[in-house]
Each structure stands twice: as structure tokens, then as C-alpha cells.
Amino acid sequence: MATTTMTMAKALNEGLRRAMEKDKKVLLMGEDIGKLGGVFRITDGLQKDFGEDRVIDAPLAESAIVGTAVGLAIRGYRTVCEIQFDGFVYPAFDQIVSQVAKLRKRSEGVYTLGLVIRLPFQGGIGAIEHHSESPEAYFAHTAGLRVVSCSTPNDAYWMIQQSVEHDDPIIFCEPKSRYWEKGEVDLDNAPHGLFDAVVRREGNDVTAIGYGSSVKTILRAAATAATEGVSMEVIDARSIAPLDFAPMIKSLEKTGHLVVVQEAPRTASVGSEIVAELTERCFYSLRAPGIRVSGYHVPYPPSRIEDDYRPSVDRILDAVDRVMGFES
């Protein structure tokens, strides 16, 4: 088994490289992704190695980028679109929900949409306005779209390849605050299916579920809780649409306590859906109501106070105390 250590950014780069080597119909398209290699350098070196016809520097027009990718998908190409920052996806929203999500159904399967929209999302990098959004719930709500998020370099490496190979359109959410964190990558074997939730830490007292950048924060909270005698089971959802409830249900049947963590605002959110669905399915296993730890229902704040907005170890531990306290 060949393994190596790399950052999440490098893992995405290598995953894209491997996808392009395997299939000559895989194209990359986005703003400044060619010579510059993208704002976060995810596509660094790929235009040099694969040429300007396969790594395309597009105009500053997200709607045109996604619309062009739809046409390419109809012709059998597999296009990976980079949206430079999460807040820049909104100009392409009409194309995504009206065309990308619906064309396969509308054509009764005549056309597949082998299309990936890469979306650096969430905050934590001290960015300016419109650069730290969490728009995943918009897309999870839209039938016809698949939405996934990696939280480790190994998942980044494999999930981007699995997404490129999938015949449904994928919104691929990348936690930008984790781009530079290193981890071990297995270069030979995909550890999980694209839409599988994964237990990252086993525990007996509380089930804590998250995705993207929140997973590492939950793991830090779990390590702290363990010193206080509380055993947290940590589940990385990985897939936001569809959600893989089987590992969550199995965990809740054991722990009876639920905390869901996300960076997005809590109203009508992915976390809300997880709590609602698990309450329906695991009502008689729950010993207390599920609790959401999330961003607040306000526009993302200036960078100097973003740490007060994003879920922290202290906020997660407070939620654990509250959910455990319902029994006392």
C-alpha cells in the first residue's frame, strides 16, 4: 500500500491530476486556474502538463462557466468547474438549479451530467466579505444535485476522483481553512464510498455529527471531553445530499444523545435536517432533544470577529453539557 503525507490542497491537485490521466474527456474550467493555478493553487501545474485545451482560464463570469460545462456534459465531457470563492457561486445559481440539477430528469436519462462544481466554502482564513459563505443547504435542497464535503487530505484525494467519475452533478465543498493541513493519503485504495458517512472517533455517551471544517473542531472537543469523563462518538457526514443515516442511527442507538455541528446558520440548514430526521427515526433511543451548534443567523461577520461566529470547542462542549444535563 503506497501512502504519503500531503496537504489537502495538494491532495486535491493530485486527485485532479489522476482523474485527468485516466480520462481524456476530463476538463478543468475556472477563473485564473491555468497559469496562476487558482487562488488556492489547487490546479497548480495542471495547465502546463495537460495544455490550455483541458485546463481553461475562463472569463470572470460564473454563469457562463457553469453554462458552458452543461453543454460540454451533453457532449460527453466531464468538466470540473472551480468557483473561486463560495460567495461567487450565486451568479451561477440559475444555471445550477435550473439546468444542472434538472437536465438528466428532463431528458429522461438521455443526457447525464458528469459535472463537478468545486466550491471552497466556510470561513476561518480572515477573508473579506463574500469569501466565507456556507451555501451548501441551498444545493442540498435542490433535487438532482449531489453535495459532498471532504475533511481530510485522504478524503479530498479520493472524493474528487469519485465525483469526476459520477454521472450526476456534484457540488464539491472544500473547507478552505483546512487546505494547508497535512494528513496521510493512501494512493492505492479509496477508503469509503463517495456518499458514506464515517465514524472518526468511537464513543458511548454523545453522538456528534459534522462535515467540512467542523469535523476537526469536534474531534478537538471530543479529546477535551474525554479528560472530563465524557465519551463522544464523532461522525463525519462527508455527504450532505444524500445524507447517510445508517451510521448515525447505529451510533444514536448506543449513545442516546445528539449534537450536530455546522458553520452555516442554523435556520433551515443541513444540521436542522439531520436533527429532524434522526428524531423521527430514533425517537425511542433519544434520551434528550438533539442540539445544533452553528453559525448565527446573521451575514458572515468581519474577519476580526469570525472566531466568535464559527463553532468552537467551548460551544460544542457547552452543547454536550446541555444534552447530557437533560437527564439530571
The residues, ordered by sequence, that sit 6+ positions from 197 with a Cβ below 8 Å of its Cβ are 209, 235, 236, 237, 238, 239, 243, 244, 245, 246, 247, 248
DSSP 263: E
* 188, 164 Cβ separation under 8 angstroms: no
E strands, the chain, in order: 3-7, 26-30, 55-57, 78-82, 115-121, 146-149, 170-175, 182-186, 198-201, 206-210, 232-236, 239-241, 258-265, 291-295
Within 10 angstroms of residue 23's Cβ, the number of other Cβ atoms is 14
Active site residue 131: yes
Query: Looking up cell 459534522, which residue turns up?
Result: 210
The torsion of the CA quartet 241, 242, 248, 253, rounded to 10 degrees, works out to: 130
Number of residues that this document lists for the chain: 328
User: What's the grid cell of residue 237?
Assistant: 457526514
What does residue 63 show for φ and ψ, rounded to 5 degrees? -65, -40
Catalytic residue among 130, 131, 192, 257: 131
Collapse the DSSP code of 286 into the 3-class scheme (helix H, G, I; strand E, B; otherwise coil) and give the result. coil
Instruction: Write out the three cell numbers for 243.
Output: 445524507
| 36 DSSP 8-state letter | S
**Cell triple for 248:** 448515525
Place of cell 496537504: 7
With contact defined as beta carbons under 8 Å apart, do 93 and 139 qualify? no
Catalytic residues: 131
